[in-house]
Amino acid sequence: MDWKLRHKPQNKNWTADERLEMVSQVLAGQSYTSVAISTGIHPGQLYQWVHKYK
């Protein structure tokens, strides 16, 4: 059997509404890491979206 780790598909195109929802969660006080883990994205990407939003 092949026991390699399976990663989520890369380069998902998030809609503006999905991005706004994630940004809103961070602005409401949740940590970048917790929001990123729950949605399956890199925290750095989320940080960029929040920075652009501000």
> pLDDT 10s per residue in the chain (54 long)?
455 555 555 668 889 999 999 999 999 999 999 999 999 899 999 999 999 999
Specify the pLDDT at position 1: 47
Name the residue with tokens 């979206």. Answer: 49
Q: Indicate the domain borders of the chain.
A: 16-53
Task: Indicate the helix (H) or strand (E) that contains 54.
Answer: none
Specify the pLDDT at position 23: 96
Specify the pLDDT at position 5: 52
